[in-house]
Amino acid sequence: MITQVGGTPVFSKAWFDADPENRRLDEPRLDPGIGSGPYILDKAEVNQRITYRRNPDYWAHDLNVNIGRHNYDAIRVEYFGDAIAAMEGFKAGVYTLRPENNSKSWATSYEFDAVANGDVIKDEIADGNVPAANGFVMNLLRPKFQDIRVREAVQLAFNFEWTNESLQYGLFRHLSSFWQDSDLEAKGLPQGRELEVLAALGDQIDPALLTSEPVMAHTSKPKRPNDRRNLRRAMKLLDAAGWEVNGDGMRQNAAGEVLKIEFLLDSPTLERIVGPYVSNLRAMGIDAVMNRVDYAQYTSRRREKDFDMVSFAYRTSLEPSTGLYQQYGAEAHAYSVFNPAGLADPAVDALIDDIVDAKTQEVLYSSARALDRVLRAKRFMVPSWYLDVSWIAYWKQYAYPENLPPYDTGLLDLWWIDADREAEFSLGRVAVRARHGSLYSSTAYAGDPNPVWHHGGEFCPGAIRARWPG
């Protein structure tokens, strides 16, 4: 609740009341309105660029918490129609700082002279935020996914190691936890208060959770798309669940229904990832297909829970709270777009209650670890990958403090233009102006293949549309 209220923008009621028809907050407008931050709008050229300049009357300029912050006199955001044009603009110095969100681009597109001679720097800055829990989510409202053996079999068909090495340049790490690499991640055997919380759930959970380590993402051999060992395990699970192979080589149940799985997509971004996965499922006798539809149809089907599997990223934080009800709670499971799995489980609801009611960090963390352990045991998501760094390319006039905050790259707050570095070379473009310079950045184009979710939220001075890491 604190984070929700604290993150709500404050608008001047007097400004709104002065012209309520043209200053509606629920409709787009070019009037910038009244703000209270360190920068104000200087110029907006629709679909081209937007420029902000330092607010000379910024009320908090001299506060001690702002010492060393907001070092640019101007911030200009350039917009491009496609990724190729955006990359060429960066090479030419049209803009000079680029948060990268494309694994292929990061691996292959920075082989130009300015990088080779050190004028452009490729930087990887550690990201301490909890990564979004990315994966392929199964719709538990579908009867075929009610059996956990089917869900585990579907998980085993995905080969992360091959996908990462062959399609993603080995840049990512495999996700296991809903709170990956944080103090809220369940690890080892449950102990202390976490064990007490789990034990209090009684027969609402599998008793094996009390004496076993949390479910981890399976490993696969990277040499080929299909790991035969995992596929054999998966097929045994399907046999045990009553999905036997018929005369046509397809899995069917006792009622003669064929096991079908449709991956619902709304863009070509994931097709090269899902394609080999679908092939593995088909090799197991599952009638698996990809179906890419337009965004309007995708949105409608998502809202109506009219899908088998979709890609999704559960946003997480170090202070989980009431948002967990929307993501994993039973009350809204049939219609919440934030709960694509349609998960409805009394043990999960009880753990969410514990987290929301927590009065101490110990209670919060132990309850979150218990929830993480229970969610992973449900196997409703095929965990995919995450990135624990931020990719940033910039012309070398930029500098930043040695010790950046763990949860933010500080691009707008803490970076500056180094005068000595700037003097070493000339971009041959408009002179860079600032207290120490100006920040020129760009947005990713809306159809960018392989966008990366920046943990804890997307960064770019402007709109960046990111759908899936890759």
- Tens digit of pLDDT for each residue in 268-320? 889 999 999 999 999 999 999 999 999 999 999 999 999 999 999 999 999 99
Residue 122 backbone zone (phi > 0: left; psi -120 to 50: alpha; other: beta): beta
Domain 133-386, classified CATH 3.30.1330.40, yes or no: no
Q: Is the CB of residue 132 less than 8 Å from the CB of residue 395?
A: no
- Tens digit of pLDDT for each residue in 399-447? 999 999 999 999 988 999 888 887 775 544 433 333 334 455 544 333 3
Q: Which residue has the tokens 């994966």?
A: 135
Q: Which residue has the tokens 């998966």?
A: 234
pLDDT above 90 covers what percent of the chain? 75
**3-state DSSP call for residue 195?**
helix
What six digits make up the tokens of 171? 């840049």
pLDDT computed for residue 29 by the predictor: 83
Taking every pair of Cα atoms in the chain, the longest distance, rounded to a whole number of angstroms, is 78
Q: pTM for this structure?
A: 0.84
**3-state DSSP call for residue 289?**
strand
| 450 phi/psi in degrees, rounded to 5 | 65, 40
**3-state DSSP call for residue 265?**
strand
Band (22; pLDDT cuts 50, 70, 90): confident
- Report how far residue 221's alpha carbon sits from residue 319's, in angstroms, rounded to the nearest whole number: 36
Alpha-carbon Rg for the chain in angstroms:
25
The sheet carrying 389-395 orders its strands as: 39-45, 49-54, 74-78, 438-442, 97-99, 389-395, 120-126
- Report how far residue 394's alpha carbon sits from residue 440's, in angstroms, rounded to the nearest whole number: 10
* Four-way CATH pick for 21-126+388-442: 3.20.20.210, 3.40.50.450, 3.40.190.10, 2.40.50.140: 3.40.190.10
Domain boundaries, the chain: 21-126+388-442, 133-386
